[in-house]
Amino acid sequence: MALERLFRRNRPTRKEDDNSPAGLWLKCDACNAQIYRKDLVANLHVCPECSHHYRMPVDARIAMLADEGTFVQWSGGIQADDPLEFVDTQSYAERMEKNRQKHGRPDAIVTGGALMGGHSVGLVVMDFFFLGGSMGSVVGEEIALAAERSAQEGRALVAITASGGARMQEGALSLMQMAKTTVALERLAARRLPYISVLTDPTTGGVTASFATLGDVIFAEPKALVSFAGPRVIQQTIRQDLPEGFQRSEFLLQKGMIDDVVHRRELKTRVADVLRALMAGLQEPTTEAVRAAAV
């Protein structure tokens, strides 16, 4: 026992939203290459050797997408209740308090306004490290608020999804967030404002079956798991092995479910290009404007 403890103390500690041991080097999960930790971070949390896309901390994601100094946070004003007084191995209230402390935000999402390649956008970024990015009342509300505010301010909406799905601990209320986020997107559609969703590893369950797959254009990062039912559930149902690459981005592209698989390095440019193209038709001067200008 004592020996074990001694060893454990020497083991590097590891933060959940940290892809690397506290040491300077880490071994890539995908290609086993030794990577210098600073290189990984500098390379947008993508392995410099094999391009394996690691799950990305929210702050780094925002820094990578928003034009420098333009991000203004909208989310953070609300926090979860415990409407079911849900207790599993610990109470939901405790679980949330721990997560809030650890991650320094009220729930599994950050939203805000920003410029992206010069385009005015609302930005929604899910935090998988916060309770699996699960969607309860707060996550749903923040998305709905971001969609409505973007519509009101004439911004496009860009959502970066990462979630295990609806949050069990809020029961049917979590399920209803699928409808809530979906109806809120209608405000953007009514104003012909683009909504781009970017599926990152992993995006599953109720998030996939609602706002995540309703983008006017849907991109996914390489090899991201994107599914309705998780691979284990499917395996239990059909009792056979799943084909190689099943439910990964490349597979979904082949099946016609997404517009493209985009390397993280290209992501900002690709989203900005699509926004520009989609809005080009609407920004053309109207006949009235041309006539007015001629007068």
Partner 1 sequence: MPLPFERPIEDLEAKIRDMQAYSAEQEIDLTDEVTALQTRLDRLKKDTFENLTRWQRVQVARAPGRPTGLDYLTHAFEGFQELHGDRTLGDDPAMVTGLAELGGRQVVVVAQQKGRDTKENITRNFGMSHPSGYRKAMRMFDLADKFRLPVVCLIDTPGAYPGLAAEEQGQAWVIAESIRRMSRLQVPAISVVIGEGGSGGALAIGVANRVLILENSIYSVISPESCAAILWRDAGEAERAAEALRLTARDLIELDVVDRIIDEPLGGAHNGRDEAMANVKRVLIEELEALVGLSSAELIERRYDRFRALGRFSLAA
Backbone angles phi, psi at 216, to 5 degrees: -60, -35
Closest contact distance (angstroms) between CB of 227 and partner 1 is 6
C-beta of 54: minimal distance to partner 1 in Å? 24
Residues 201, 230 contacting (CB under 8 angstroms): no
Which one, 122 or 205, has the nearer CB to partner 1? 205
Q: In 267-283, which positions are buried (b, 16+ CB within 10 angstroms) versus exposed (e)? A: bbebbbebbeebeeeee
Cβ proximity to partner 1: between 72 and 179 the closer is 179
SS3 224: coil
* 41 versus 253: smaller Cβ distance to partner 1: 253
Minimum distance from residue 95 beta carbon to partner 1 (Å): 11
Residue 65 vs 178, nearer CB to partner 1:
178
When the beta carbons of 8 and 255 are compared against partner 1, the nearer one is 255
| Closest separation in Å from C-beta 262 to partner 1 | 19
DSSP, collapsed to helix, strand or coil, labels residue 74 as coil
Cα angle: 115, vertex 262, 186; to 5 degrees? 55
Which residues neighbour 169 within 8 Å (Cβ) at sequence distance 6 or greater? 82, 84, 86, 88, 92, 95, 136
Nearer to partner 1, 67 or 81 (CB): 81
Contact 165, 135 (CB under 8 A): yes
Provide the residue type at 134 as one letter.
S
State the residues that interact with partner 1 by CB under 8 A: 76-81, 83-84, 86-89, 106, 136-138, 140-141, 144, 166-168, 170-180, 182-186, 205-206, 208-214, 226-229, 233-234, 237-238, 242, 246-247, 255, 257
- Per the listing, tokens 């805000």 go with 112
Q: How far is the CB of 214 from partner 1 (least distance, A)?
A: 5
Nearest approach in angstroms of CB 1 to partner 1 is 26
